[in-house]
Each structure stands twice: as C-alpha cells, then as structure tokens.
Structure 1
Amino acid sequence: MGIQLKFKYLIVIILYPLFCQSQNENFINDSIQARELNRKATFLGEKELHSQALEIFFESLNLRKKIYGNENYNLAAAYMGIGVSYRSLGQLNLALQYYKLAETNYALAQNYPFAQIVNLFINIGTVYRSKLDYNQALRYFEQALAISQNELNSPSEVIAGINYNIAEIYYLLKNDDKALEIIKRNLEFAYAEDQVLFYELLAFIYQIKGEISKSKINYQKAIDLTVAINGKVHINVGISYLNYSVFLITNNQFTEAAETLKKAFNIIQLTKPVNAMVLSDYYRIEGYLTTNKPIAARDIELFKKEKKQNLFHANEWFRKGLAALKFPENYSVESVTETKGLLSLMDCINLLKLIADNYNEIAKLEQTNENLVFTESISQAIQTYQVVSSLIQRARKEISDDESKIQLTTLEYSTFYQIIQISYTAYTITKDFKYIELAFQNAERAKSSSVFDKISDQLALDNSLVPDSLLQLEKKLNNTIAILSEKLFEENSRSLPDSILIKEYNNEIFEASRKREDLNRYLENEFSDFYDLKYSNSMLSAQEVQQKLKNDEIVIEYVLNETDTLTELYSFVIGNKNIEFSKQILNSAFHHSIETMFNFMSDTEYMFTKNEDSKQFCVAANHLYKSLILPFRNQVNHKKITIIPDGKLSYIPFDALLVNLPDTAVTIEFNRLNYLIRDYCINYSNSANLLFKQKSPGKKTSIRAIAFAPEYKEGETIEVAGRYLSLIPLPGVQREVEEIAKVIKTKIFKGDDATEYNFRNNAEKYDILHLAMHAFINDSLPALSSLAFTQTKSEDPTKNGLLNTMDIYNFKLNAELTVLSACNTGSGQLRKGEGIMSLARGFFYAGCPSIIMSLWEVEDESGTQIMTSFYKNLKHGKDKDESLRLAKLEYLESVNSRRAHPHYWLGFVSIGDNSALYLSYDFYFFILLILALTGIGIDQAIRIKKARKKRAL
C-alpha cells in the first residue's frame, strides 16, 4: 500500500476559540499565549517536527490547566495535539492515552462537540490500524461515520472521506469485494484529494484480482488528478508515481518502472519532504526494482554472480527504508522487543520480510557450494525472519479482540511458513538442532489461537496482584459484548432489519469494547508484574515438550504449506528420547484423498453407500496412512499418539486411516478393515503448547457430572441468522444420558428442564459436562455458532435456548471434560491457527482442558452405545483417549459390516488433555492387596510370637 499524506485524518488538530471573558489581564494574556502555543505546535507538526511540537503542546496544556483547572473542555485541543504527536513518533499506546483524555475533556462542553469527536475517532482508528488491530480500527471508523450521518448530517464529501478509511481496512483484511463495494458507492462524491486515494485503492484491488488493464487505468487516473490538483512538482504527485512504479515492476515493465521511479525521485529532491514515510517508501521501491531487475547473462555462473549483487544491493535500499522508520540498525530478536517508537510497524515488517527473502534467495543460489556466502546468507535470513515473527507475536499480544488475533495470525501465516522452510533447509545442511527449535517455535506460532493467549493471560492474572473487582469487570464487559453481538447478528440477519436497533447495538458494542481496551491498558500500566508475565515468552520449546512426554507417548505436529504450484508437508515427530523434523512434497492426490475420506464418512446418505464409493474411501485412507504415519513407523511403534493437525488435516479422524489396502475386487467389509485405531490410541490438540499449558489437576475419587438432553417437538424450528432451521427430534439422547447416569453419578437435565438457564446456573459446579443436543455452526462468524437447548419464549438472550461460542468464552469452568455429543457439532469453518475449533474452542477458552466431540452428525443408536462404553472405560481409570478408543473398538466388534460403516463410529475425537479422571480399579486392587498382605504378615507375626512363648514354657 502506498503512502497517503492524508493530513486531515492523521493529524487533525482543531483550534477552538476560548470562551472566557475576564477582566483579569493575566488571564487574557495566558489565554492568548496558550492559543499561540497550540498554533505553533500545529505548524511544527505539519513540518514533521513532532518532538518539538510535542514539547510545545505540553507547554500549552500546562498553561491551559493554570487557566481552566485540570478538567475543562478547553484542554481537549492540547490533549489531541499531544496524542497526534505521539502517534507520529510511533508511541501508539501513549497516543491512545492522550486521545482518551481529549475525549474526556471534549465531553465537558456545554453542547456535545460531535465534529471534534468524529475527528478524534478517526485518529484513534488510525492508531489501531497501525497496531494491526483492524477490527478495532473498523469500529472507530464506523462510529465516526455513524455520528457524521446521524448527528451532523455531514456533506457527502465528508462521508466519502470516512468511507475511504473503512474500505482500506477491508482491503487490509483481504475482503476485496467489500472494499470495492464501498469504493464504488463513494468515489463520485469524494473530495478530489480523496478521489486520488480511492483510485489508487481501486488499482491495488484490481491488480490483486488480476484485472491488470483496470488497475493501470486507475493508476493513471490517480496521477492525472493529483497533477491537476497540485501541479507537476508536488510531493503527492511523487507518491502517486511511487505507487504506479510498484505496479509496473510487478508486471515486469522494468524500463517504464525505472523511468517512473526517476520522476518520483526528482520530485522528492525538489520538494525535500520531511515525512519519513515517503522516504522509506522510495527506498523500498528502489530495492524492489533492484531485486527484480532482469539479468541478460546467459552463462549460469555469471547469472548467479549478477543476481547476488542485485540482491545485496537491494537489501541496502531496504535497510535505508528501515532507518527512515526509526528501526534499530543492528537489529536482533533480543534487541527488538517492543513496537513502540516505530513510525510504521507494518512497513517495518514488510521491509524486514523483503530483506529476509533476498538473503534466502542468495542462499539458494549458493546452496550447491555450501560456502561462507551460503552460511552467512542463511544466518541473516533466519535472524531477520525471527525478528519479523517476534514483532507479529508482540502485536498479537497487544490486541484484546479474539477475532483480531485470529485475523492477524491468518494474515501473517505466510511469514511463519517461510521461517519453517528456511529452517528446514538450514537443518538439512548443518544438522544443527537450533533450526528444529526455530521451525517448531514458528509452527506453534502459526497455530497459536486466542485460546492460548487467554490461558497465558489468565496465568499472568493469577500470579499478579490484580484485584478481583477488576477481573469481574473484565468478565462483565466480555458478557456484554457477547450478548450484544448476538443481538446485532440476529437483527442484521432478518429480512427487514430494524435500523434503529442496529444503531443502538453498534453503539453499545462500541462503548463496551472501548471500556475493555481501557481496562487492558490500565492493567498493563498499573500492574507491572501482570505486564511482565503477559509479554514474557512463555511458549514451550521442542525439547521442553519432549521432557513432558512419557516413554509410551509421541507427538506428531504437521505443517501443511499449500501454494499454487505445490504442497509441502513438514512434520515434527517428538518422543521422549528423540526429535525428528522432516519434509514431504505432496501431489494433488493427497488433497483428493482428504476430501474423499471426509465426504464419505460425513455423508448423510451413508445408508445407501455404493461399493465403488467404499473402495475409493479405502484407497484414500491407505494413501493418507502412507503419507502421514508410515514414514514414522519406527518412532511411533505402538505408542500413544497426539496429532497436532494443520489445515485440511483437521477434518479427518486419523483412527480411520488404513494400514493395509483391502482387496478392492470384492465387496468391502467395514468391520474387517485394518484401521489405525486397532493398534494405536490417538489424541488431538491445536498445538503442543496448548496441550501442556492446560492440564487436568489429577485423578479424583469423586467426579460430579452433569448432562443435558433437550426434547425437541415435532416440527419445531428456530430462527438462526435469518433462517428457520428445523430442530429434528433426537429420541436417542434421552436414553443416552440415562445410560450414562447408570455408569457415573450424573445430574440430568432433560426435556423441558434442559434449558440454557439451567446450564448457565450449574455448568461451573461440575467436573464433566455432557451436552447431547443440536448444534448450529455459523461458518461466517464462528463465534456465533450455538448449541440448542430446550427452546423458551424468553427475549433475554441468556435464557432463549441458544448458547453461542461467545457466551461460552465468558464462563469460568471447573470441568475437566466436556463431551459434545451433538448433531453437526464440529463442522465449523476451517481457520488457519484454529483448526476444527468453533464451539469446542469456546470450552477450551472457558478453562476446560479436554473435549470429546463429533466431527459430523451422530447416529442415535451408535452414538449412545459408544458414549456409554466410553464412560464405563473412563470410570475404570482409563485415559480419555484410550477410553474412547476402546469404546469404538467394542462397537466395531459388536456390529455387522453395514453398521460398521465409518459414519456410525469414527466421528468422535478426543482433543486436549487425555489424562484419566478416575483412579484405576487396578489402584484399588493394589491397595486391597497391600492390606491383605499386611494382614497376613501381622497374623503370621502373632502366630510366631505365640509359638515362641509356648516353647519358652
């Protein structure tokens, strides 16, 4: 994205007349002086002299406090100026702090200053954009838009300008269609200066979509309009040339690109801009051109030599760009621990990526030689990628909103992959274990979820001095946001939504989100122990994971890197004695096998399966076994396996992989197939860190379970997201919970008693939660996926019978196991870093370390049989994953081939902590044996003693 010198949005300081009238001459003089100081500071800010501007804004503030006291409307402009100065200096948290003070003092005006608040919100949104918290930025921009439309009745030009900020956020979120919709709706109404920005954003989007001619037309429109507004020699014209030159380089039009870049350079020389962003952008594009410059040499060695020279030279340009943004010159992971002071975090990350990519290319050119250049280039690439990874991790921890965390991880996924790729290259050549650790660390970061952050934050809170009252406030705010978000989603989904209600919900969500942000900043500022723990590097290394494993346990973590040309599968195999790191290149058959397996097993028409489809399933299941397990057969060797999947691998139960391919010339007998489950116990986790961070406290002698089994009425429907969905009766779940109650002590809520209200009032008291009910997955907004309890007529969203993921987030569960024995439970949207988690993610987030869930709709009879057996095995002291495995095998042995279809029994998976809940019967037998032996020993001792007495007589 090119630079936008959009001063009215990035540095909006409005000087307001002082309303006081006083006969005191000193008062009048001070008022005039304060006003002049603000003007001087504003002028310095326009000249990019932000440190000097900051000092003078503080002078103005102190003088105004002398006149008006510590709280007054007339302080707001000075606070605003201080915030803008800190923003321009890269001190984003300080900027937010002073923007908050500005808002507090604006609110003291006799008439609420809506225009000033709009400008303030745009500035705050810009700060959150810089912090890579795009969701929060969007909220502020949308709130500014709402105020402009509803309170100020602003002209269409102003509305269009605010909409540009919103469109840009959608572009950054890779929602290009939404951005296009906003641009087309506002372009013609915008001020000419804003039209330039709209044209350039259009050009970026069309280029991404591959519509090159449309992209070029819009770049030309932007240049022509900029020249018409400013003349040929103006820095804004130079910026338009810079943006256009990137387009030309990307499309291999190097001659014209060089000419265009030269035009930009000439303008920069003539205008001498003090804006560091312009200079950084120019250096970046010079480096980009140098990197991609075509080489005429035909001799391979000459080609390599010239290419390396270009890459080294390009990195010099990129380093100049970093220097302009105040990035440390001799950077390292240890030296770059914070993001404050950087003029643009995103631009710094992009420049660092370019440097690392170039070093990686140099290493590839020298890979056959393995000389000093190769070694140094690999080292430089890895070091630079590490800094990028750390910056992303830091930015993610500073974000409060869960969806924003997930979005940032998704947007930066390619960075984590690149680090894993180059680490593998370095490891294969050097055999240095540190490269395995680096690759593993970034595999874990790629899989990091809001769940892991929640656990880390909770540990920080538990080990710091934060008062309970503040923790309760955080919980209350999270509950408020969850309830309002559900209401807003439902209202937006109606065929005729109520615009007044939507406005009301948006306002309330906005205010609650702001209060949560303020609370987080307060906790970090006032409780240093919490701050230190929150931002500490608490992730486990591969060796630390290894130390936590028993002799019979092994962890296999997969990283699936899909590109347009090939798919790479990286695997970390961690046992308690060794760690292996490997790579496979996969073809299209691998992806086809995943889709074939999942579609076959989850097909609702499973009763009408054709033998040909069964054969294809067998071929696919065996193909995946050969790719995913067979290469590690020596390491696995009948150990208990924990699978940490990635991407599409999250959709398949590894239990179903076939060790041997059956004779496909005859009818497939499902109960005779050699499934992996016959020899191995398989558990799953989102990440190794999540697995070991969230462990059960240990076995108990007394376990309390609670089960919910609603009874849906024939023909009953509910409205979810504007659609009416059928609540098909599930007669089997009533029997299921009754059978479970015969095995373990269980409090049952069934039929009309299986309400959301009863769940909310009881869930936190029990060790096991068993939920046998319908679940509705929201693929577009997984946080609003919901469980359907017995339906009530209540308008209160906490009692209406639909419990969504956002609600579950705000529970503080004591449960050690949650079983989601529900219809359609796990088929949520596949999300990078989150896997199959949708509803299950909510229970992890709420503190439950272990989930048993179904990947597809469960058939009543088989589900009841498997669940009953599972609890029997659990009661006998078996581990959770082993209990589930034995239950499945018991089912498989008890049915014919038709009922052994994978759909019936392979859907349940064990995720998270797999340790036993109950003491084993063997333990009780051992105690009894010891008591018996002790009794025998005592009896013998008494007998011997008596015998000796008799002999003595």
Structure 2
Amino acid sequence: MCIDFKAFVLIILFGTMVWTGHAQDMAKANQLLESSQYLEAHQMYAELADQFWENKQWNSYAVSRLKISTCELALGHIDVSIQEAERILEFAHGYLQDTSELVGQTRLLMGSALLHVGRNDLALEQLLLAEPNISDATLDKAECYESMAIAYWNNGNDDLALQYHERAFGMRKQLGAPDGLLGDSNNNIGLVYIKDEPRQSMIYLNRALRYYQSDVDQNRQKIGVCYINLAFAEVGLGNYQDALHYLDRLDSMWTKLYAGDHPNKAFALSSRGRILKLKGAYDEALTYQEEALAMYKSLHGEKHPDVANTYFLIGQLYQERKDYQQAASYYQQSIYANLYDQQYEDLYDVPEVKNYYHAEILLSSLQSKAQALEALHFEKSLKLRDINGALDSYLRCDELIGKIRQQRINEQDKLRLAAIAADVYENGISVSKYLSERTFQRKHYLDIAFDFMERSKAAVLLEAITETKAKHFAGISDEDLATEDSLKTEIDMLEQMMLQDISDVQRSEFQNQLFTYESALRDFVSLLEEKHPEYFKLKYDTHLATLSELQVSLAEGEGVLSYFTAKDKIYIFLVTHRKSILTEVEIGQNWSGKVIGMRNAIKYQMQEEFMDISQQMYETLIPSGIDPLHTLTILPDGVLSTIPFESLVKSDRDGNRYLIEQAAVNYDYSATLYLSNISSQPTAANRQVLLIAPVDFDRLDGMSDLPATMDEVNEIKYLFGGNDVEVNMAVRADASKEVLVGDLSSYHYLHFATHGVVNESNPDQSRIYMHSTASSDGRLYCSEIYNLKLNAGLVSLSACETGLGKISKGEGVIGLSRALKYAGAKNLMVSLWQVNDQSTSDMMISFYQNHLYHSDQEGYSDDLRKAKLKMIGSDDFSAPYYWAPFVLVGR
C-alpha cells in the first residue's frame, strides 16, 4: 500500500483509540507474532493498518506498520524492514502529536535490523536516539541496552558491552521477563568473555542454557546456538573432546528439527571440522568440511559465500598438511565461488576484483592462495611460475584492500583490514625483492616492491579525512557529502544482505541493486572529480608515486630512505637519482623497546646509554651508500616516526659523528606526499609572516608561561622586517583562536610559539594552545586544524611534542602535523618531545637567520641543519636533548 503522506498535512489528528473489534484482532496478531508465525501476523497487521488508515486512527495505523516492520525483520527481509521503519518515522514526525514512544520503538527496531547486517556504527546511532524515547524500567528499554551492548562488543569495546548487558539483564530479571530473554542476556555476556576468559564465559553460557531449557519447544534455535558457543568456549580452554560433545547434542537436536539438508546442519558440520583441525585430527576434519561443502552446494549451488568459506577452510587443512598444491587449488575454488559472474580454467588464473559476495572471505582466500604458492615454490617446486603466481595474488589483495578501504565505515572492519593489509604488504615486498634478485627483470620487481611499500604508507591519506570529519576544507557541499555517504551506505548494506540466508531469487535482486548503486557511485565520483578536484584527489585518486617518478625528482646528492617494519625485520629502500637499492635487516623481538630506549636516553640526557643505542640504530637503519649524499629525506614507518634520525651516531676510524653532520635530514609521510609537496610549493612572491605567541596561559591544563617566546617572536619579526617582509604579530591576548578564522592563505610563514599536547589514543583531541577568551578556551584541536585555510610554505610549531600522535601500522604518526599538511602547509617544523624554552628560542632564531640569508637553491632542511650544527658546537646546548627534537616534515 503506497501512502502519500504530504496529501494529509492539514488533517486533524483524531481517532487514536483502537476500536474494540480492532483491539481483539490486534491481540490475535500479537499472539501470532509472539509464537513466531510471522507470515500470518504480517497479513493480519497489514489488514489492520488498512482499516486504521480508513478510520483515520493514525497512532494505531503507525503501530500496525511498526509491527509489519518487525515481521519483515523476523522473516529476514532486513532491507524491507528498514525501509518500512524509515517511512514510519517520516509519518510520525509529520502527522502525530505525541511521537516519543513510537519513535523510540521504531529506532530500536532499525538499530536491531542494522546490527543484523553488521552496520554497528549506524545501529548504535539509532539506538542512542531510541534510548531516551523509551520508557524506563520496561522490557523495551532492556532490549535497547542489550542491542547497544552488542554494537559496542562488535566494535571491540568489551567493557562498555558488559556494562550494558548487565544492565539489561538486571532490568529483565526485575521485570520478570521470560526465561528466553534472561537466557539471551547470559548468552551475550558469555560471548563477550569467550575470547579472553573462556572459563568465565562457560559460567554465563551454562546459565543461558538452563534458562532456555525451561521451554525447549520455544527455544530450540537458541539452545542450538548456545551449544555452539559452549563448544568454542571449551576450545578456548583446550577441551576439544568436550567441545565435540556439545556438537553431538547439537546434531541430535538439528536432526529432529530439520528434515534433509539445512544451513544450520552444514554450519554444525563445518564447526566440527574446525574443532578437529585445532585438535590436530586433519583427516577427520577434512571429512566433515567436505560433508559441509556438499550440503552447502546442494542448498545454494556453486556460487555462495558459505560455499566459498568452506572451500577456504578445506584449503587451510591441506596447508596444515603441507600439501600446498592442493591448498592453492581449494583457495582458487574459494575465490571463484565468491565471484558470481567469473569462472577459471587454471590454478594460476587471477580474477577481476569485482562482483563478489563477501569481500573479507575473498581477501582471505587471495592471501592464502598467495601464501600457499609461495610455500610451494620455496619448499617444493622452486618454479618461477609458483612464486609469480603468489605475487599476482598479493597484487589482487592490494587492489581489493583499496576497494574495501574506500567503502568500509565500521571501525572494527578497518582495524581488521589494517592487520591483513600489513601482512599483504610485507609478503608482497619480500616476494618482489626475491624476484628482483633472481630474474633479469630487477627494475620491474623493484618497482612492485616500492609500490607495496608506498601503498602501506598511503593508507592513512584516505582515513585522515573521514576520521576527522574534515571534508569541508576542500569546499565540498553538505549535499554532496550526504549523497556520497548514502551511496556507500546502500552498497555496504546490500553486500551484507547478500550474506544472509536468502533465496537465489532474492540474491539475484540484491545483485542487480548492488550493480545499480555501484554504477551510481562511479558516476558520482566522476562528477566529484569535475566539481571538487582537491577533494577527489585526496579521497579517490589512487595514483601513488612510482619509483621512477621519485628518482626523476631527485637532484644529484639527494636521497630518500623509505622504511617498512615487518614482524622481525625492516625493509629499507635507498633511492637516489642514479640508483635504487632494497635491503632487509633483522631487528629481533624487542625493536619497539629499543626505539623507546633511544628516545628516553635523549630526553633524560643519559649520554652513555644514548651513544651505545644510537650507534646500534645507525647500523640497523642507515644503509651503506649514503656517503655522497648531502640531503636525506626519511619516509619512516610506525614507531620509527618518533625518533630523530639526525641524532643517529656513526662510529668509524674518524670517530663518532651524528647523521646531521653528514647530511641535512628531512621527513615526509610517503613518496606520494613528497612529490606532491615538490609540485605544489607556493611562490615566494607572497612572503607575509604571522607570528603567534600567547606567552601567558593562566595555568590552562597546567601549562606554564613561556616568557622566552616573546623574545623569540620579536627577534624573528626583526629578522623578517629587515628583509622587507610584511610581519603580523599576535601575542598575549591577541593570540586567540579568532586570529585563525578566515582565509590565512596570504601567509607564507606561520610561526606558533606556544604549548602543544598530543593525545595518542584520540588524535582529534591533540591540540595547540592559544590565548583563552570569553568565547574560547584557547585549545586549538587537531580536528579544527583540518579546516584552516592555509597556503604556507612553512608552518613552525615551536611547541612541545607537536610532531607526535597516534602511531598506526604502516601509516606513521597521525596528529597535529598531518592535520596541518591537509590544511595547506607545504612544510612543517615540529617537535618530538618536550623542549627547553630558551634553547628552542635560540634554535628558531638561528634557523630563520639561515633561511633569510641562504642561496635560493637550498631548502629548509639545510637551514635547520645549520642551526643544529651551531647548537652542537655550543657550550650549553650541545646534547641531542636540545637540538634533536625539532624535525622538518617537507623539504
């Protein structure tokens, strides 16, 4: 029934009471719903809705539609349920007077539906909106808490999940809820504990089972799920035989409940196979997985995510037995069972990465096939075809990772993807390096290795925009942002729908819808490229700097060192105008501890410990071949982003020398950003300067005053003024956030002499301190910096720890410096730890003196080098503590 809500804007709302006859019918429909007779209940609610509509009983009409949405959800028609709920919200907001309870119930239903398709972010958003509109001390409130707990658990927040589960259970018990609901609460609490505390999990799961068994007929499905959960809790305790006993009980239940093949039976067979694999009984495990595969294929055919996943599990069994040829063959079958319009003829065929059912299964299958072929080459065949096949699969993994990264919104999905991507890049670099050394195509394979390394660094270029909600700086409209997000949401939803237990007809319908939305997104992205080229470039332009492009950009005497930290080694790419060399160095298990040890030795001026560890780090991180170079650009990885490479000490026959004494050192996040920085340097025609120094902080967040910064900015003003450069000062009370409002693109230089604080767990909360006013507390947060309008050749943060932030695998540090880069700073000078007020002032003045009087051919890195060398030669500030923390991100 199609309803034109707009036609009834002026209707007077009346008739909200349910007529007596209708009340009896509603009670009957509710009884059908409670007894799981969803089709019959759906039909009755639809008939009642029509009658309520004709009688203008708007509240009752809305309630009936909500019940219909509930039936659709129970029947597995999740998209229909969500669409129905959205129409109810539209109707309620437009035409009902007291909508709070109805809105709460509807949003609760939408949250539950979204949880079914794995959209925890959207589910939690709806549930948080539902919670205040649902009456306290009701079963609906308990259900809302329960659903919120599940969303938090799915996002990895176990502590919050437990709090809400326990609150829901307490409320249900107090209200005398049915045993089935009390069992649900205990089952869900057991699941929270199952990974890290399986013994505690067993306590709650057994309680859940007792609740469910109070009414076996009503709770058969739940009892079955509980048996599976208990089995895997026993696995966590190493009790494999006890786990199998639970599956025996499950088999007995499913045999009575289902005649013939059924997905639940197939899943039980597959679960038994997985437990037997953990037990080491590979032959038995293989038998059960083959039975599960046969049942899934009889139910779904050759193309289905369950079929693909079971092929994958069989492949794992063969890989455990070191039968790599068979393992690769099953992984190949898994890959193509996951692609609904592609076939293969040969083990070495590689798929087009499109039209897949389940992206994560496809990624796992591609990665495992690559690993199997790699093992086949090294342990059995030594055939180039196998190792090249492995590399081809890693390249497809990389392509798929790029697609998933652009469309996934869920935080937990991103974390899982990051872990897989790190392994893919590590293996891809390793295989490419091996082939470059053993074939006549050295350059070709080095290009591929460099691309893998660069892609590992470039991942955050997309993440930083979406995570900080800083899209507006590129000028994109709210309407376009909403269109982009809605298309991606629909694509994600449809992909999840296709994973449900649905008919072939429904799956075909979802495939057609998915094709339509993906086409619409492609068209929209093309439009974005035309309307908002800057946003498109940052968000969708996947072109990364190539090894050849980087080499061409380097002048004689310039070099780039790019790093990738693997599990037990570091890959180092040395690139100059004339050569490119890829080396690997073993680092041992406590590498992060060694890096932290070096930082601490500098910060706490432990000179003896510093010399020892710094020399070790030099030998590990600096390859031979840098001696002719006068400029080194460092592209660090992970924890390496937290150390100043210029303080590494080379020990030879000539004595000890810091790296900064050999060459000027600067940093960047990736070769792509490095090349972009070269091409987008602002012209020197506009050389205005903005100097900012709050000086006094009124003990804001415990910050001390910085009196030396006043001398610092005055001296810098004098230096620039003497060179006919326009200087604007914002000091003390004038150094408020208001000075940064508006267009700052006229400033070539911005200098902040202030405090900075880094929040490693939440980079958005990292901040620079300005002067506080009646309208602002003075904290300039990282998320606000993204929206500044800069076109600066250099931004200097003469502050504490401004170069630090959240360290992400393969992404370096996400913090203030990255935010300023996005805001338009071409080059940055930032600090890696808390700095001395006076030494900082001296070094900054020296840096600007060098900059204003050097030749046009030299860059900021040489200016900074000269300032540091001056400090090294001084009596008071020669220790690395004083000069090492400030690093240049840029050139």
Question: What TM-score comes out, normalization by structure 2 length?
Answer: 0.72
Number of the residue aligned with 2:464:
451
| Aligned residue runs from structure 1 range 563-578, under 5 A | 567-576=568-577
- Correspondence for 2:550 among 546, 549, 552: 546
- 1:372-420 CA distance string (max 9 Å, x none): 7x9659847973x6666555544443467xxx66x65444322012212
Number of the residue aligned with 1:414:
419
User: Which residue identity is paired with 2:561?
Assistant: I
User: Which residue identity is paired with 1:871?
Assistant: Y
Is 1:172 the counterpart of 2:154? The answer is: yes
- 1:265-324 CA distance string (max 9 Å, x none): 454454449999857855763553354341599xxxxx989824699689969978996x
User: Which residue identity is paired with 1:595?
Assistant: I
Number of the residue aligned with 1:755:
736
- 1:734-775 CA distance string (max 9 Å, x none): 445434534543211112221211222463442322111112
Q: Distance in 2 between matches of 1:456 and 1:153?
A: 34
User: Which residue identity is paired with 1:415?
Assistant: I
CA contact (8 A) 1:768 1:817 kept: yes
User: Which residue identity is paired with 2:738?
Assistant: Y
| Aligned residue runs from structure 1 range 44-59, under 5 A | none
- Correspondence for 1:529 among 514, 526, 531: 526
| Aligned residue runs from structure 1 range 342-357, under 5 A | 342=357, 349=360, 352-353=363-364, 356-357=367-368
- 1:685-720 CA distance string (max 9 Å, x none): 22333444455534524233343433444x8222x5
Residue identity over aligned pairs, in percent, reads: 18
Number of the residue aligned with 1:103:
89
- 1:439-471 CA distance string (max 9 Å, x none): 336523555453366999979978xxx7x6857
Could you tell which deviates more after superposition, 681-690 or 119-128? Answer: 119-128
Task: Name the SS for the 1:848 alignment partner.
Answer: coil
Number of the residue aligned with 1:816:
793
- Correspondence for 2:663 among 668, 680, 690: 680
- 1:104-133 CA distance string (max 9 Å, x none): 222123224333433443455457667876
Structure 1's unaligned 5+ residue stretches are 1-17, 23-27, 298-302, 475-519, 604-608, 664-671, 915-953
Number of the residue aligned with 1:709:
692
CA contact (8 A) 2:73 2:81 kept: yes
CA pair 319-910 structure 1, distance change in 2 beyond 3 A: same
CA pair 903-327 structure 1, distance change in 2 beyond 3 A: farther
Is 1:899 the counterpart of 2:882? The answer is: no
Task: Name the SS for the 1:160 alignment partner.
Answer: helix
CA contact (8 A) 1:283 1:321 kept: no
Q: Distance in 1 between matches of 2:397 and 2:583?
A: 24
Number of the residue aligned with 1:601:
602
Shift of 1:594: 1.1
CA contact (8 A) 1:791 1:801 kept: yes
Shift of 1:651: 1.0
CA pair 259-577 structure 1, distance change in 2 beyond 3 A: farther
CA contact (8 A) 1:575 1:635 kept: no
Is 1:238 the counterpart of 2:224? The answer is: yes
Is 1:621 the counterpart of 2:614? The answer is: yes
CA pair 456-841 structure 1, distance change in 2 beyond 3 A: same
CA pair 872-278 structure 1, distance change in 2 beyond 3 A: farther
Q: Distance in 2 between matches of 1:684 and 1:269?
A: 64
CA contact (8 A) 2:689 2:750 kept: yes
Number of the residue aligned with 2:647:
656
Q: Distance in 2 between matches of 1:121 and 1:662?
A: 74
Is 1:202 the counterpart of 2:211? The answer is: no
Q: Distance in 1 between matches of 2:324 and 2:242?
A: 19
User: Which residue identity is paired with 2:792?
Assistant: A
Q: May I ask how many residue pairs the two structures share in their alignment?
A: 775
Q: Distance in 1 between matches of 2:51 and 2:548?
A: 57
CA contact (8 A) 2:682 2:791 kept: no
Number of the residue aligned with 2:588:
587
Is 1:426 the counterpart of 2:423? The answer is: no
Number of the residue aligned with 1:910:
888
Give the root-mean-square deviation of aligned CA atoms.
5.3
CA pair 891-646 structure 1, distance change in 2 beyond 3 A: same
Number of the residue aligned with 1:861:
838
CA contact (8 A) 1:733 1:860 kept: no
- 1:799-843 CA distance string (max 9 Å, x none): 332211122222232333321111342343434455333222322
Q: Distance in 2 between matches of 1:777 and 1:678?
A: 30
User: Which residue identity is paired with 1:683?
Assistant: N
Number of the residue aligned with 1:555:
560
Question: What TM-score comes out, normalization by structure 1 length?
Answer: 0.68
Number of the residue aligned with 1:247:
233
Could you tell which deviates more after superposition, 160-169 or 361-370? Answer: 361-370
CA pair 780-364 structure 1, distance change in 2 beyond 3 A: same
Q: Distance in 1 between matches of 2:126 and 2:418?
A: 26
Q: Distance in 2 between matches of 1:528 and 1:65?
A: 45
CA contact (8 A) 2:363 2:397 kept: yes
CA contact (8 A) 2:664 2:862 kept: no
CA pair 557-753 structure 1, distance change in 2 beyond 3 A: same
CA pair 131-444 structure 1, distance change in 2 beyond 3 A: farther
Number of the residue aligned with 1:769:
750
User: Which residue identity is paired with 2:542?
Assistant: S
- 1:544-597 CA distance string (max 9 Å, x none): 6536632444433323245xxxx3323344445555544433224633431122
CA contact (8 A) 1:64 1:75 kept: no
Number of the residue aligned with 2:301:
none
Number of the residue aligned with 1:886:
865
Task: Name the SS for the 2:103 alignment partner.
Answer: helix
Q: Distance in 2 between matches of 1:321 and 1:47?
A: 38
CA pair 364-291 structure 1, distance change in 2 beyond 3 A: farther
CA pair 777-310 structure 1, distance change in 2 beyond 3 A: closer
Q: Distance in 2 between matches of 1:692 and 1:853?
A: 20
Is 1:113 the counterpart of 2:99? The answer is: yes
CA pair 469-421 structure 1, distance change in 2 beyond 3 A: closer
Task: Name the SS for the 2:625 alignment partner.
Answer: helix
- 1:344-379 CA distance string (max 9 Å, x none): x6xx5257537744763675376321357x965984
CA contact (8 A) 2:767 2:781 kept: yes
CA pair 226-79 structure 1, distance change in 2 beyond 3 A: closer
Task: Name the SS for the 2:570 alignment partner.
Answer: strand
Task: Name the SS for the 2:802 alignment partner.
Answer: coil
Q: Distance in 2 between matches of 1:228 and 1:525?
A: 54
- Correspondence for 1:360 among 363, 366, 371: 371
CA pair 638-306 structure 1, distance change in 2 beyond 3 A: closer
Q: Distance in 2 between matches of 1:577 and 1:454?
A: 39
CA contact (8 A) 1:656 1:906 kept: yes
Q: Distance in 2 between matches of 1:544 and 1:452?
A: 28
User: Which residue identity is paired with 2:526?
Assistant: D
Shift of 1:97: 7.2
Number of the residue aligned with 2:128:
142
User: Which residue identity is paired with 2:616?
Assistant: H
Task: Name the SS for the 2:651 alignment partner.
Answer: coil
Q: Distance in 2 between matches of 1:421 and 1:654?
A: 23
CA pair 86-154 structure 1, distance change in 2 beyond 3 A: closer
Q: Distance in 2 between matches of 1:175 and 1:101?
A: 32
Number of the residue aligned with 1:495:
none
CA pair 542-169 structure 1, distance change in 2 beyond 3 A: farther
CA contact (8 A) 1:641 1:681 kept: yes
Could you tell which deviates more after superposition, 857-866 or 538-547? Answer: 538-547
Q: Distance in 2 between matches of 1:903 and 1:586?
A: 25
CA contact (8 A) 2:120 2:155 kept: yes
Q: Distance in 1 between matches of 2:570 and 2:226?
A: 41
Q: Distance in 2 between matches of 1:645 and 1:235?
A: 52
User: Which residue identity is paired with 2:728?
Assistant: K
- Correspondence for 2:672 among 676, 679, 689: 689
CA contact (8 A) 1:73 1:109 kept: no
